[in-house]
Amino acid sequence: MMMKLDSGKYNFFIVIFSIILLISCSGDSDKNSDIDIFDGSYNSSIFSKDSFENIGFKFSKEYNVTELNNAESAYYGFWAEDSFERLSYELRFYPSNEIAKSSGVFFAEEATGEDAIIKKADATWKEGIKDRRFVGPFGTSRNRPKYLSYVIFGNVIVLCPSEVSEKVIGAWDPIENCRNLLSKLP
């Protein structure tokens, strides 16, 4: 006796099997998913501009930090493992992790997220405000924030970009973009 399998059920199982196979094979072998760089083990680390230069970070601008409470320096620049996939970041250096948390969180929250303050008139710290928004065609502002999140990593607050690009895989996830950058630091 031979059973005939309903073609609808057969197609359903093929689709489900294909999806499971695709998901299980799509992992990135270069990533070490067992290591979480945001687990707090870097809280006592002190990073400098040199730390980032040594991993290929390209500094474009240095900001005046006199109005950025307790900050030692702040920079705008670019980084990617592949120069064609560069994303822009803002790095704010503080004397320690504790000072970054106590003095820098307010300013980082103001500059990040869907509701980020990206108009100079409304910003508490006005330095680099133009670099924190996407600019539309021909220089017109689309009033969309560039940084949707931030991380405090050691003594540095990093504003994490969320740039949409066909060439940059995963660029929409700001925390993953920061993780990619910061995982290269020693």
Would the pLDDT of 30 be above 70? no
Percent above pLDDT 90 for the chain: 58
Task: For residue 159, give every residue at least 6 positions away whose Cβ sits within 8 Å of its Cβ, in sequence order, or none.
Answer: 89, 90, 91, 92, 108, 111, 112, 132, 146, 147, 149, 150
The answer, yes or no, to whether residue 155 has pLDDT greater than 60, is: yes
| Mean pLDDT for all residues in the chain | 81
DSSP label at 77? E
Residue with the larger pLDDT of the pair 83 and 89? 89
Distance CA 171, CA 177 (A): 6
Q: Cβ–Cβ contacts within 10 Å for residue 173, how many?
A: 15
In order of 36, 107, 149, the CA distances from 68 in angstroms are: 29, 8, 18
Across 90-116, average pLDDT: 97
**Whole-number Å distance between alpha carbons of 26 and 19:** 10
Helix ranges restricted to H, the chain: 7-25, 49-53, 97-99, 105-111, 174-182
133 C-beta neighbours (distance < 10 Å), count: 19
- Report the SS3 class of residue 16: helix
Report whether pLDDT(116) > 90: yes
Q: How far apart are CA 147 and CA 42, in angstroms?
A: 22
pLDDT higher than 50, residue 24: no
What phi, psi does 115 have (nearest 5°)?
-105, 25
**Range scoring the smallest mean pLDDT among 3-12, 119-128, 170-179:** 3-12
Please report the pLDDT score of residue 95 as a whole number.
Answer: 98
pLDDT in tens, 134-146: 876 665 556 789 9
Q: Does 73 or 85 have the greater pLDDT score?
A: 73
Q: Which residues contact 48 (CB under 8 A, 6 or more apart)?
A: 93
pLDDT of residue 107: 98
Q: State how far the Cα of 26 lies from the Cα of 72, in Å rounded to an integer.
A: 42
Closest CA to 156 of 86, 106, 108: 108
Q: What is the DSSP letter of 143?
A: E
Mean pLDDT of 37-56: 92
Q: Are 185 and 55 in contact (CB under 8 A)?
A: yes
According to the model, what pLDDT value does residue 171 have?
55
Higher pLDDT residue, 175 or 2? Answer: 175
